[in-house]
Amino acid sequence: MRGPSEIVTRTEGPLILGGGLAGSMAALELARAGRSVTLLEKSTGPHDKVCGEFLSRESLLYFERHRIDPGALGGMPIDTVRLVTSKFSRESALPFAAWSLTRRTLDEEMLRLAAQSGVQVVRGTCVTALERQRDRWSVSFQNDEAMQADNLFLATGKHNLPGWTRPAGRQSDLVAFKMYYRLTARQHQELGRAVELVLFPGGYAGLQPVENGVVNLCLLIQSNHLKHTGAPWAGVLQHVLRHSPHLEKRLGGAAPLLQKPLAASRIPYGHLETRQEDGLWRIGDQAAVIPSFCGDGMAIALHSGALAAAHFLQGSSAPVYQIRLYHQLRRRMGAATRLSQVLVGFPLAAQLLRLFPYLLPAIALMTRIPNKALAAVERMEG
Ligand SMILES: Cc1cc2nc3c(=O)[nH]c(=O)nc-3n(C[C@H](O)[C@H](O)[C@H](O)COP(=O)(O)OP(=O)(O)OC[C@H]3O[C@@H](n4cnc5c(N)ncnc54)[C@H](O)[C@@H]3O)c2cc1C
């Protein structure tokens, strides 16, 4: 409901809520097609995000379209994946080129490009309410201000806007932590250009180098394990290191670089949006939340942003886009979620992963955005 003192602005073109990768990508694509676009983002400037920061081949394809070069931004090439359990370690060359880059750098670059392309980027604006009023969307934010738009792209990430709840997802019992470290020179060298996936009871961790000689440790643990680990971060780390001599070695003598880890809970992993009747353009994690071990969530954010923009520019509707995205991702999302459940829930199944180097191409194929789906965006624009 509108308050009597509320200042309401009407935007001409589409309004995008959230300036992560999905929101920025949609904004860029729309602006470069000549549309007037407004994007509201709650953060006021560069900030860290809970994310493993692994950029898959699919993400890189979208960067190429917009001439974003992770290397020029200080990112690190990643060419190896190492799977480590308490019993064994297996290593394989990645079947595709990959990079790592902090979200602090990447998200800012995307927003900068969007602004440079003519998007009106409004920072420091936290949306507090969204409602449909007859034929238009009405968005409220702090200071009794509101905005109205005919078309709205919802890109606010994994958590819900007040009043816009989604199903919990098929694996929503994981809690995520992220910490940056500076390893000893020897451990940094041993890590090399690898992303290490480390399994431990109740969860898994990803470790990889990012820019400036720093490494990112991002881990997920089942919430019921937190009851036994005691104090959130210290207890979790103790639990992980007790069960992973490998990580204990890597982090020996390492300096933590954040005062406290970033954390997120109630992540709706496995959620794939099926609702279309309200006409909202849901993109990024608002549309699909793939388990983190796949390292493809950012690619889905970029892909869904671009796909939604392409549909919008063709005069198609949000429901048509939403159904298309659903069919593109359904099988991959199902396979990725089942695999994630196995990784954290069934330690004996980890024995199968001794075959990891042979399984990797099949796992990659089963869990990544299909090539056909990526090509669909190009075709729509062509
Ligand atoms: C533990 C973990 C590890 C991951 N590791 C990887 C990985 O290695 N590789 C990979 O590809 N993916 C990874 N992902 C997934 C990836 O981080 C997400 O899929 C991706 O960030 C989704 O992008 P988005 O734009 O939808 O959301 P976000 O990047 O979360 O952006 C949403 C934006 O909306 C803004 N916002 C939120 N609420 C409001 C509001 N009310 N008003 C205004 N603005 C608002 C936020 O400030 C934010 O900037 C990981 C995720 C997790 C949880």
Tell whether 303 is covered by a domain. Answer: yes
What is the rounded (10 degree) CA torsion for 295, 83, 208, 106?
A: -10
Q: Along the chain (382 residues), what's the average pLDDT of each consecutive run of 10 residues?
A: 65 95 98 97 97 97 95 97 90 93 98 98 95 91 89 95 89 96 98 96 96 97 82 89 96 97 95 88 97 95 98 96 96 93 76 75 85 88 70
Q: Which ligand 1 atom is the nearest neighbour of the CA of 304?
A: 26
Instruction: Look up tokens 């041993």; give the residue.
Output: 190
Task: Check: CB of residue 283 under 8 Å from CB of residue 26.
Answer: yes
Phi-psi region of 118 (alpha: psi -120 to 50; beta: other; left: phi over 0): left
CA angle 274, 30, 330 (to 5 degrees): 25
Q: For residue 1, what pLDDT is reported? A: 45
Q: Which of 40, 32, 204 is nearest to 130 (CA)?
A: 40
Q: For residue 354, what pLDDT is reported? A: 76
Residue nearest to atom 48 of ligand 1 (CA): 20
Tell whether 179 is covered by a domain. Answer: no
Spacing of C-alpha 240 from chain mean position: 23
Tell whether 208 is covered by a domain. Answer: no
Q: Which of 156, 159, 283, 296 best tests ligand 1's pocket when mutated (most atoms within 8 Å of CB)?
A: 156
CA angle 61, 64, 68 (to 5 degrees): 125
Ligand 1 centroid to Cα of residue 49, in Å, is 7
Q: Which ligand 1 atom is the nearest neighbour of the CA of 177?
A: 1
Pairing of strands 7-10, 152-154: unpaired
Cβ–ligand 1 distance for 108 under 6 Å, the answer no
Terminal alpha carbon distance of the chain: 43
Q: For residue 5, what pLDDT is reported? A: 57
Tell whether 83 is covered by a domain. Answer: yes
Cβ–ligand 1 distance for 43 under 6 Å, the answer yes
Cβ–ligand 1 distance for 18 under 6 Å, the answer yes
This prediction has a pTM of: 0.96
Q: What CATH number does the domain containing 140 carry?
A: 3.50.50.60
Cβ–ligand 1 distance for 166 under 6 Å, the answer no
Q: Which residues contact 92 (CB under 8 A, 6 or more apart)?
A: 80, 81, 356, 357, 360
Residue nearest to atom 20 of ligand 1 (CA): 298
Q: Which ligand 1 atom is the nearest neighbour of the CA of 219?
A: 1
Cβ–ligand 1 distance for 68 under 6 Å, the answer no
Task: Check: CB of residue 303 under 8 Å from CB of residue 373.
Answer: yes
Tell whether 45 is covered by a domain. Answer: yes
Q: Which amino acid is at 331?
A: R
Tell whether 176 is covered by a domain. Answer: no
Spacing of C-alpha 108 from chain mean position: 15
Q: How many residues can be counted in the chain?
A: 382
Q: Which amino acid is at 303?
A: H
Q: Which amino acid is at 194?
A: A
Residue nearest to atom 27 of ligand 1 (CA): 157
Q: Which of 298, 303, 304, 332 best tests ligand 1's pocket when mutated (most atoms within 8 Å of CB)?
A: 298
Tell whether 251 is covered by a domain. Answer: no
Q: Which ligand 1 atom is the nearest neighbour of the CA of 264?
A: 53
Cβ–ligand 1 distance for 299 under 6 Å, the answer yes
Ligand 1 centroid to Cα of residue 50, in Å, is 8
In the chain, the number of structural domains is 1
Euclidean distance between CA atoms 380 and 14, whole angstroms: 19
- Look up the domain containing 45 and give its range: 7-169+268-381
Tell whether 130 is covered by a domain. Answer: yes
Residue nearest to atom 30 of ligand 1 (CA): 157
DSSP string covering 43-100: --S----S---EE-HHHHHHHHHTT--TTTTT-EEEEEEEEE-SS-EEEEEEEEEEEE
Cβ–ligand 1 distance for 26 under 6 Å, the answer no
Q: For residue 382, what pLDDT is reported? A: 66
Q: Which of 292, 302, 343, 368 best tests ligand 1's pocket when mutated (most atoms within 8 Å of CB)?
A: 292
Q: Name all contacts of 88-92 with Cβ < 8 Å and 24+ positions apart.
A: 88/354, 89/246, 90/353, 90/354, 90/356, 90/357, 91/194, 91/357, 92/356, 92/357, 92/360
Residue nearest to atom 29 of ligand 1 (CA): 20
CA angle 114, 117, 122 (to 5 degrees): 45
